Structure formats: structure tokens, C-alpha cells
Amino acid sequence: MIEKTFCEECRRDIAYMIETASYKEKLKGDEYSYIGKRAVCTECGSEVYVADIEDENLKALYDVYRQNNGIISLEKISEIPQKYNIGKRPLSLLLGWGEMTFSRYCEGYLPTKQYSDILQKIYDDPIYYIELLEKNKDNLKSLQAYEKSKQKVGELLGKEKNTPSKLDIIIHYLLYKCEDITPLALQKVLYYVQGFYYAFEGSFLFDEDCEAWVHGPVYRDVFSRYSSYRFDPIESVEAFDDTVFTTSEKAIMDSVIKNFCCYSGKTLERFTHLEKPWRYTRGKLPMNAHSNRIISKELIGEYFTAVKDKYRMLTPGDIEGYSKAIFNQIY
């Protein structure tokens, strides 16, 4: 069947062909270039209106806008309810949004950057989602919606996290050993574990890189996982089998816990602001400037090796001398 549409030049319904075309259009005050389509009359060659093609072009424009402004794609938004087995309205309620907000985003409405970042975290990180589900389950009107989604994310985590990463295991150990540790403090303790392990063993304990954020070294995925706690302590782990660690791993971590977990997250932040890895990576950036610059592992290794030599550390227990010295520098 040949599709037809009305041609204003020919003044009748005609067959049309579709061509690729380049467009420039303004959206929210800025101009964007994108590749779209146009329908052309097969008889007179003039451009004709076809609703489906106009909708495709509008989506292409919005897709370019999303890419340029860090807004989650429509495809990812649409996948979230199926991924976590939760309806669009219950998901909106879970997030504390208007009941129809998420449904509108599924229809193509552009979320704000703040809401987009939340949806991107949910899409990327099932652990972040399950934490939201547990924290905000009272927002849901149905216990059944909560149970169905919890079961689904449990299955998802079972598939994705059969073998926890080294970083995951270390985090669980820190939550088991450290009382009232906040997300800010957790970030800094992970950084010190990584640095001092390299100083004593000549290798890094986990693979993930940290970034030089305003408040010190930050492991981005860990931030996403625990950001809902904000300034509150993270829920502790009640049991842990520490036989998963070697003797040296445990000795170094235990010394870092003893000598750094005793300080608040803000104090540890001030520690890292005095140290070369964060300062060098930030360079001449203003103190409050956002940055995703990666603090290289080589820089961390060099710095903590130099610290070990300067303070004549023979065993992990000697880390105490450095923690006290840097504390005295800020107070």
C-alpha cells in the first residue's frame, strides 16, 4: 500500500518519498543541529507534511538536546518500570514526585537536570534503587507494589552481583567495623585504605578511580549508592566474615579504621585538602568549582609511599603518627 498525504501545491492527496535532511532548530533558547527526515511530493517535489515524520524529527531534536545537556534518554526512562517491575505512577510516588510526573517523562517530556540525574542513577544502579525503595516504601499506596518491585530488584542484583567486587567487600567491612560512618567519611576512608595499602604492599587494593571533587576525593559510584543518606550515618552491616581478606589487607584496613574513622567526614575532608593528590589534581580550580578530574593512582601511590618513608612506618600500626600529625596541622 502506497502511503499518501495532502500536497498544498498539487491541491490533492499524493504519494511521497522520504529523504534524509539536516536541520537547525532552537530549543530552550539554544540552537541545535540534528539529522532528521522530510517527506517530498513525488509529483511536484515540494515538501509535504506527514505527522509521523514530524514526530520523529521532534524526537531527534530532543535526543540531541538530551545528549548535549546530560539528560537521560527517553529509551532509558521507558526501560525503568520494566527493569524494576514497578508501575509509572507508583514510581512517581516512590520518588516523592507528582503522581503523573514519570508518565509524562515516558511520553517525551524533558525532565529537569535534577530529576534526570535521579533517573539516571536509578537506571544505572539497582543498589541505589533498592535503597530508595526501602527508604520511601511508605509513599506507595500498595504493599503489593513494594513487594513485587523488591523481588524483581533482588533477582536483578542476584544476576549482576553474584561476585561482589573488591571495593564492595571493603565497603561492607568498613560499614561493619566503623560506627556512624557518613557517606563523606566513607569516601575519605576508602581513599586512605587505597593509599596506605599501596605504600605497604606496592599494589592497589581495588581498581576504581576517585575524582577530585569540591569536598575531597570521591568514588563516583559509591557516591551514587549512598547519596540518599546525605549527612546521616549509613546503616551498619551486622555480620561480616573477615577471612576473605589476607593478613596484610586486614592489618592495613584495621589501622586506617582505627586512626581515621575516629574523625568526622568534614575533618577527613580537611585532611585531604592538605594532601598533594587532591591539591595537584584540582590545580588552580576555585575551591567551590565542580570537577570530575580523576586523581591518578600513580599520584596516590607516590604520595603515600613518601608519607610511609617520611614517618618511618615499619608496620601498619605506624599510620597513627601520620593521622595525628595531619590533625595537628588543621587544629
Identify whether residues 192 and 321 lie together within a single domain: yes
- Could you tell me which residues are beta bridge partners of residue 295? 210
pLDDT at 284 over 50: yes
Q: Which residues lie closer than 8 Å to 327 by C-beta, 6 or more apart?
A: 263, 267, 271
Tell me which of 22, 39, 69 is where a domain ends.
Answer: 69
From CA 155, how far away is CA 27, in angstroms rounded?
41
| Nearest in space to 271 (alpha carbons), one of 231, 229, 215, 232 | 215
Residue count (the chain): 331
pLDDT at 55 over 60: yes
User: Cell numbers at residue 230, please?
Assistant: 546525605
Identify whether residues 131 and 192 lie together within a single domain: no
Query: What DSSP letter does each residue of 143-160 carry, written as one string?
Result: HHHHHHHHHHHHHHHHHH
Identify whether residues 204 and 317 lie together within a single domain: yes
User: Cell numbers at residue 111, please?
Assistant: 525532565
Identify whether residues 308 and 195 lie together within a single domain: yes
| Nearest in space to 136 (alpha carbons), one of 167, 91, 181, 88 | 91
Identify whether residues 183 and 132 lie together within a single domain: no
Residue matched to cell numbers 593521622:
323
Kindly report which listed range (84-98, 116-130, 179-193, 229-243) carries the lowest average pLDDT score.
Answer: 229-243
What CATH number should be reported for the domain holding residue 57? 3.10.20
Supply the pTM of this predicted model: 0.54
| Nearest in space to 330 (alpha carbons), one of 275, 289, 283, 277 | 275
Tell me which of 21, 48, 69 is where a domain ends.
Answer: 69
Identify whether residues 252 and 126 lie together within a single domain: no
Q: What is the pLDDT confidence band of residue 272, given thresholds at 50, 70 and 90?
A: very high
pLDDT at 1 over 70: no
pLDDT at 181 over 50: yes
Identify whether residues 140 and 217 lie together within a single domain: no
Q: How far is CA 203 from the centre of its chain?
A: 26
Kindly report which listed range (87-91, 138-142, 212-216, 252-256) carries the lowest average pLDDT score.
Answer: 138-142
Average pLDDT value for residue range 134-141: 88
Residue matched to cell numbers 605504600:
199
Q: Mean pLDDT of all residues in the chain?
A: 92
Q: In which domain, by residue range, is 111 found?
A: 74-160
Three-state DSSP class for residue 35: strand
pLDDT at 163 over 80: no
User: What is the number of domains present in the chain?
Assistant: 3
Identify whether residues 246 and 144 lie together within a single domain: no
Identify whether residues 179 and 325 lie together within a single domain: yes
What is the pLDDT, as a whole number, of residue 161?
Answer: 47
Angle between helix axes 126-135 and 113-124 (nearest 10 degrees) is 110
What is the pLDDT, as a whole number, of residue 159?
Answer: 55
Average pLDDT value for residue range 124-147: 88
Considering the chain, what percentage of its residues have pLDDT values greater than 90?
68
What is the pLDDT, as a whole number, of residue 256?
Answer: 97
Kindly report which listed range (6-15, 24-33, 249-258) carries the lowest average pLDDT score.
Answer: 24-33
Tell me which of 108, 126, 160 is where a domain ends.
Answer: 160
Identify whether residues 124 and 50 lie together within a single domain: no
pLDDT at 62 over 90: no
Identify whether residues 62 and 112 lie together within a single domain: no
CA distances from 81 to 95, 119, 153 (A): 13, 11, 11
Identify whether residues 247 and 146 lie together within a single domain: no
Question: pLDDT tens digits, residue range 210-246?
Answer: 999 999 999 999 998 898 888 899 988 888 888 999 9
pLDDT at 98 over 60: yes
Average pLDDT value for residue range 38-64: 92
Amino acid in the structure at residue 200: F
